[in-house]
Amino acid sequence: MMKKAYLIPMLIVVLSLATVVPPFIGDRYIHILIMILFYGYLGACWNILSGYTGMLSLGHGALSGICAYFTVVLFMKMGLTPWIGMFLGAIATALIGMGITYLAARYGLKSMYFALLTISFSEIIRLLALHWEFIGGASGLLIPMSKNPMINFQFPEKYLFYYVILIMVIVIVIINHLVVRSKLGYYLMAIKENEDAAENVGVITSRYKIVAAGISSFLTGFGGVFYAQYLMFISPDINLSLDFSIEIASAAIIGGIGTVFGPLVGACVLQVISEIFRVFLGEMGSVHLIAYGLILMLVIVFMPKGIIGIINKNKS
Amino acid sequence: MLELVHLTKIFGGMTAIENLSLKVEENKIISIIGPNGAGKTTLFSLISGYLKPTSGEIVFNGEPITTLPPSRICKKGITRTFQIVQPFMNLKVLDNVVIGALNWAKTTVEAKDYALHILEEVGLMDKKDRLANTLTLAGKKRLELARAVATKPALLMLDEVMAGLNKVEGKHLMELIESIHVNQKVTILFIEHVLNIVMRLSDRIIVLNYGEKIAEGTPEEISQDQKTIEAYLGKRK
């Protein structure tokens, strides 16, 4: 395991650099940093359900999209500021995530079958949004610039968004850290290891799966709202696509499944790779996804515990 | 404390347990013996909630627990070990036992304290930071016992804990179980094939054959029982 003695000074250095430097590096690089933190944040949310319990979710993209739609529609139709709307959206998202997990627990759907359930959920949501004109249908919704940008989660400068996502990442890392050390964390790991044995020592497995799904979906919702406010646009193809869910899961799997910092490390690797692809191949649609797929396969075969797993192994 | 009332379990066309009634009294060691396929493990799975009986009732401390899932039954005070050991293989030895202790502990600190105490008792203290899958079979059995004891059960069900152990390991484990029985004041329900251990430890023995109770009594009575001898050795010509 990582020694605390190294970890804390390292964190302080990284954090101060992350706080001071960005306003001076220009929008292009800020955007890359924002995307790294954004996928790191969602990967860490995903981790709380899928990383610790082993229930592979490919619906987290859609969950984040649901919250984004909820918040944006409240803002556009009723004028409710996203700062408040996102909490309502996150609660709704948590209820949906818990509902699906309840069904999975009730009917004993595990691993692969849970993944299939979340894929179908994700596609159903995307198709609903695609055909529902009230929320913009296939063309999505363009968020109008408001007169009071700050009050409505709209920032004129990119680096302000950067600070928002930086704070979100710090919060999610702390939450992950607390979960790992709590009773919930122990129970989630027990569920991942062996459900029968966990039940035998008093772990009410269905209850803790649903709790994990609730926390995970609630926090995922904020990620979705951030993305919508950052792009000032939501559409089924961006916010509800299966590709989006796969990218979230990939970040966590490549970085190190069920670890506190894994999703961030994974997001960093993936974003840098996709940037490199963009520089050399231009905007050729989703070429970078081919690289993602390759890396994902290599990681699963050669380092199932991800990059963090390799680092920890070398240290001990 | 535990009472089975006319318990029957049928798998397809096969009757695994037939109209079985029995009582387990507090602070005793009760053994269930019988030839392979007699329904012993099925009986354990019924009591611990992994299987639901076709008919009949299971009552624990005056409460019916027949339809409860295993986790709820554990909360009532019954836990078991598995015939094929099932520790949390990729977790540390200490964390395995902490998860058991969290059954009652309010905080993880409290659970950790108690887990360390139990590890000391079962003799796994020096291996507490190792992953469970690095232990030997004897070590894994001790760990599974420790995890079960950490839940503070009133009734502990042990499914063939001696299987696969050599004589020395078996003897040590047996001493451990006796000391747990005394120190933790826990009632023990045993499935065991090693008969000399059964004879030495049990207050009472129940003999199953083809899902039915064919004899019940003290070790002395059972060793003289004609039906039991027939079930194990066949009829004298």
The string of pLDDT tens digits covering residues B1-22 is 999 999 999 998 888 999 999 9
Q: Which of residues 193-252 of A touch B (CB under 8 A)?
A: 193-194, 196-205
Cβ–Cβ of B82/A200 closer than 8 Å?
yes
Higher pLDDT, B184 or B118: B118
Q: Would you place residue B233 in the very low, low, confident or very high pLDDT band (cuts 50, 70, 90)?
A: confident
Could you give the percent of chain B with pLDDT greater than 70? 99
Mean per-residue pLDDT, B172-193 = 90
CB A254 within 8 A of CB A296: yes
Q: Which residue of A has its CA nearest to B144?
A: A197
Q: Name beta bridge partners: B32.
A: B191, B206
Reading the block at residue A169, the tokens are 């990442």
Q: Name beta bridge partners: A234.
A: A141
Angle at B150 between CA B147 and CA B153, to 5 degrees: 110
Reading the block at residue B4, the tokens are 């089975």
**Helical H segments across chain A, by residue range:** 4-20, 27-46, 52-53, 60-78, 82-106, 111-131, 158-181, 183-193, 195-200, 205-231, 236-239, 242-255, 262-281, 287-302, 306-315
H or E element in which residue B187 lies: strand B187-191
What mean pLDDT is reported for chain B? 91
Q: Would you place residue B223 in the very low, low, confident or very high pLDDT band (cuts 50, 70, 90)?
A: confident
pLDDT of residue B48: 94
Q: How many CB atoms lie within 10 A of CB A145?
A: 10
Cβ–Cβ of B88/A186 closer than 8 Å?
no
Q: Which residue of B has its CA nearest to A190?
A: B88
Tens-binned pLDDT, residue by residue, of chain A (316 aa): 445 677 788 888 888 888 888 778 888 889 999 999 999 999 999 999 999 999 999 999 999 999 999 999 999 999 899 999 999 999 999 999 999 999 999 998 888 899 999 999 999 999 999 999 999 999 999 998 888 888 888 888 888 999 999 999 999 999 999 999 999 999 999 999 999 999 999 999 999 999 999 999 999 999 999 999 999 999 999 999 999 999 999 999 999 988 889 999 999 998 888 888 777 776 666 677 777 788 888 888 888 888 888 887 776 5
pLDDT of residue B95: 96
Q: Distance (Å) from the C-alpha of residue A205 to the closest C-alpha of chain B?
A: 8
pLDDT of residue A286: 67
Mean per-residue pLDDT, B78-82 = 94
Distances (CA, A) of A265 to A159, A242, A253, A254, A259: 21, 22, 10, 8, 10
pTM: 0.89
pLDDT of residue A248: 94
Cβ–Cβ of B88/A190 closer than 8 Å?
yes
CB B206 within 8 A of CB B198: no
pLDDT of residue A119: 96
Cβ–Cβ of A200/B75 closer than 8 Å?
no
Least Cα distance to A101 among A252, A25, A201, A205 occurs for: A205
Higher pLDDT, A203 or B225: A203
Q: Helices A287-302 and A262-281 sit at what angle, rounded to 10 degrees?
A: 140
Mean per-residue pLDDT, B126-154 = 94
Q: Distance (Å) from the C-alpha of residue A125 to the closest C-alpha of chain B?
A: 34
Question: What is the Cα–Cα distance from A192 to B124, expressed in whole angstroms?
Answer: 24
Residue B111, class by beta-carbon neighbours within 10 Å (0-12 exposed, 13-18 middle, 19+ buried)? buried
Mean per-residue pLDDT, B190-212 = 88
**β-strands B2-11, B14-24: how paired?**
antiparallel
pLDDT of residue A1: 46
Q: Which residue of A has its CA nearest to B100?
A: A201
